[in-house]
Amino acid sequence: MVDSILEKKGADILLLDISERAIFTSYFLICNGENNRQLKALVDGISTDAKKKADILPWGTEGEPESGWVLLDYGDLIVHLFSPEMRDYYNLEEFWSSGHIVLRMQ
């Protein structure tokens, strides 16, 4: 999924292991999209690649690109796609700061 984000020029990518702190998932994959169109492209790219490469579909989705936040729930991995403003607002990195950073690409 990180490759899908990179292909669509997603920014500030963070893979956070929260498995020791949460029972609902093991990892958060967080990234920024600069505008609604890019957020939509990120959602489409991740969904398409997950289906093609791993034959998986999200268990659920929340949010819309126009809101500045989209969540794709793949069970053990939850993908958060944010506009920079909404990422600052929700500040998941701070809230889950006890998690282990697996990957950070800025």
- Per-block mean pLDDT, blocks of 10 residues, the chain (106 long): 92 96 96 96 95 93 96 97 97 93 92
- pLDDT at position 103 is 93
- pLDDT at position 89 is 96
Helices (H), 1-106: 2-7, 36-54, 84-90, 92-95
- Residue ranges and CATH numbers for the domains of the chain are 2-105 (3.30.460.10)
